[in-house]
A = this chain, B = another copy of it.
């Protein structure tokens, strides 16, 4: 490495700049619509450097994709596995954390889910998300609440789906929702901020319904 350790505080290495640029462009346009030249331009580097550091577009994509899924699931896995917090608290945490996260990274959900549709097998097998979530405190607490009659719907997958639906879907459908409502981006984000408090209330009510 030709770069001295302390020289650049604000700047980063070429390799990191390429990764950061690739993240931006891949998230925005998806794998197929992204040109390696787009990434090079975004990073302000010579096109050949992309191949010098990452061998190919596909290998670079795999890195970005893995980090994106991991970053998305990590937070959820942590919250769902907390032994101490209540089920209600977990719902609050998920709503709060993800609405903030997706507001900052609005392209991540649709990017992730679009690309997963092509390659779910290959991309998910590296991540031990299955174990982490299906055996989580969240699911155990749900079962306990069902046993006590506090929750009517016995399938924890419905519970998780509903929570994620209410949190994530509005962002995915943002262009459509703005198209039918005339909200600008700021107003839309305000609506999403409202949902931080509303979703836990709604989920609570839903799960007691019968």
Chain A residues with a Cβ under 8 A of chain B: 29-33, 107, 110, 112-114, 116-118, 120, 124, 129-130, 133-134, 153, 155, 157-158, 161-162, 164-166, 168-170, 172-173, 175-183, 191, 194-195, 198, 201-202, 204-206, 208-210
> Quick one: given A175-B120, A195-B158, are A30 and B114 in contact (CB under 8 Å)?
yes
Query: In the complex, what residue of chain B is closest to A162 when comparing beta carbons?
Result: B166
Identical copies of this chain, number:
2
Taking a contact as CB atoms closer than 8 A, the residue among B32, B33, B130, B170 that contacts A165 in the complex is B170
**Secondary structure dominating the interface of A:** helix
5 A-B contacts, Cβ less than 8 Å apart?
A: A29-B32, A110-B114, A158-B191, A165-B169, A205-B208
Q: Which residues of B contact A124 (CB under 8 A)?
A: 175-176, 179
The residue that A176 contacts in the complex, of B116, B202, B206, with Cβ under 8 A, is B116
The CA of A165 and the CA of B206, in the complex, are separated in Å by: 14
CA distance A180 to B125 in the complex (A): 10
Residue in contact with A180 in the complex, picked from B130, B175, B176, B183, CB distance below 8 Å: B130
A210 contacts across to B, CB distance below 8 A: 201
Q: Known contacts A158-B198, A201-B209, A205-B205: does B130 contact A175 (CB below 8 Å)?
A: no
Q: Does A153 contact B209, Cβ atoms closer than 8 Å? A: no
Residues of B within 8 Å of A120, CB to CB, are: 175-176, 178-179
A195 CA / B118 CA spacing, docked (Å) = 26
* Residue of B191, B201, B209 touching A157 (CB-CB under 8 A): B191
Q: Which 9 residue pairs of A and B lie closest in terms of their CB atoms, listed nearest first?
A: A205-B209, A32-B33, A120-B175, A165-B169, A32-B32, A169-B169, A165-B165, A124-B179, A202-B206
CB distance from A143 to the nearest CB of B (A): 15
The residue that A134 contacts in the complex, of B110, B130, B133, B181, with Cβ under 8 A, is B181
